[in-house]
Amino acid sequence: MTATAPEIHRGLAGVVVDTTEISTVIQETNSLTYRGYPVQDLAARRSFEEVAHLLWYGELPDEGQLRAFRARERALRPLDRTTWELLARLPETCHPMDVLRTAVSFFGAEDPTEDDGSLAAHRAKSLTLLAKLPTVVAADQRRRRGLDPIPPDPGLGYAENFFHMCFGSVPAPEVVRCFEISLTLYAEHSFNASTFTARVVTSTLSDLYSAVTAAIGALKGPLHGGANEAVMHMLLEIGDPQRAQAWLDEALASKRKIMGFGHRVYKHGDSRVPIMQDALDRLVARAADPEVTRLATLHAALRDAVLHRKGIHPNLDYPAGLAYHLMGFDIPAFTPIFVLSRITGWTAHITEQLAHNALIRPLASYGGPGQRAVPGAA
């Protein structure tokens, strides 16, 4: 009697592995909710700090809770001397995601409460990472430009302070708003590859820093968060709106993936794209610069060409990549910026995984050689 072959789900496509109360991606309606609230309404009406509170505590903060939350986050932003020394020793040739991954690992090594798995300790560590990671990303971008770091300003909100630490000034409120919208949209997306990675690590009862370090590694890849950088490289490579169609034909003929397009869950458009595209359009209009208009025309031409040729829609990385470029960030900082937002979703999932833990350990169907004798063995 032969055993029936097991059903294989490569890439875990379509597999429901657990429940979550944090967010849901509704394929049929291309929609996304965080703790029940539509993400587009959160992006339009709430600050990123409020969204972080919602993801971690399950509810939007009232005024007093928000004040306390902001005060704690602002107080935690500075880095200590040993972290500065560590960052200064990392080669500038490594990717900024490597810097961020190393920093999180180092924070874990430094944390005296590292093995306390309580909910309170988890929340404190999550807030510490939320507060300190922008300081790392901004200082690393400046270092690569040959500039000294700018200390955080506790008088500024999360998004404004990041601009201040990167550039020494805060841009117009509309630009900050566009950035904050991107942070809200990037914050959480159910069991995506990096969040699932964090949950796998947590399921072994490992610590939060290990889970976040691993998640950063997963996000770095160009099929996931690394796509926002790849989008910008691709647009610069194409260069001219007139070349979009010919470039696409060539790319598809050589079986290249078009970065910033397609999605494992959404097959008819990413729920977050319309709101990010709208924010990007406002940035473009505000710039009133022929070079910016040219890039935006190219961006739209490629989007239309991919949809026409392949029926594939852009994902959030497509408008976010160009938006970050127009805000003045260097391309290698784009995926680290994604981390500054997704740290909220990852840590919410780490806490949830621990609360209802089951070791994550799937099975594999073996396809290697049949059992055979080691030469020389009896």
Ligand X SMILES: O=C([O-])CC(=O)C(=O)O
Ligand Y SMILES: CC(=O)SCCNC(=O)CCNC(=O)[C@H](O)C(C)(C)COP(=O)(O)OP(=O)(O)OC[C@H]1O[C@@H](n2cnc3c(N)ncnc32)[C@H](O)[C@@H]1OP(=O)(O)O
Q: Which amino acids are annotated catalytic? A: 224, 263, 317
Choose the binding region for ligand X from 35-43, 164-172, 257-265, 296-304 (rule: CB under 6 A): 257-265
265 makes contact with ligand X (CB under 6 A)? yes
312 makes contact with ligand Y (CB under 6 A)? yes
Which residue's beta carbon is nearest to the bound ligand Y? 262
Please choose which of ligand X, ligand Y, none residue 181 contacts, taking the beta carbon within 5 to 8 angstroms, the exact cut-off set by kind: none
Please choose which of ligand X, ligand Y, none residue 312 contacts, taking the beta carbon within 5 to 8 angstroms, the exact cut-off set by kind: ligand Y
What is the C-alpha separation between 88 and 102, in angstroms, rounded? 12
Choose the binding region for ligand X from 88-96, 130-138, 233-241, 262-270 (rule: CB under 6 A): 262-270
189, 299, 303, 325: which one contacts ligand X (CB under 6 A)? 189
302 makes contact with ligand Y (CB under 6 A)? no
Question: Binding residues for ligand Y, how many (CB under 6 A)?
Answer: 18
Please choose which of ligand Y, ligand X, none residue 30 contacts, taking the beta carbon within 5 to 8 angstroms, the exact cut-off set by kind: none
Distances (CA, A) of 128 to 19, 196, 229, 289: 27, 22, 26, 39
Provide the CA 369 distance to its chain's centre, in angstroms. Answer: 40
Q: Bridge partners of 25?
A: 32
What is the C-alpha separation between 249 and 184, in angstroms, rounded? 34
Residues 254-283 that bind ligand Y (CB under 6 A): 257-264
Q: Residue length, the chain? A: 378
23 makes contact with ligand X (CB under 6 A)? no
User: Residue 11 Cβ, how far from ligand X at the closest point, in Å?
Assistant: 10
Distances (CA, A) of 301 to 179, 244, 245, 258, 294: 24, 6, 8, 13, 10
40, 192, 203, 344: which one contacts ligand X (CB under 6 A)? 192
165, 176, 227, 234: which one contacts ligand Y (CB under 6 A)? 227
8 A C-beta contact, residue 332 and residue 275: no
Which phi and psi angles does 345 have, rounded to 5°?
-65, -45
Residue 18's CB: how many other CB atoms inside 10 A?
14
Distances (CA, A) of 7 to 12, 211, 320, 361: 11, 29, 37, 16
Question: Binding residues for ligand X, how many (CB under 6 A)?
Answer: 6
User: In the numeric block, which tokens belong to residue 240?
Assistant: 């001219």
> What mask of x and - would describe binding to ligand X in positions 295 to 324, judged by CB under 6 A?
--------------------x---------
Provide the CA 222 distance to its chain's centre, in angstroms. Answer: 12
Q: Give residues in contact with ligand X (CB under 6 A).
A: 189, 192, 263-265, 315
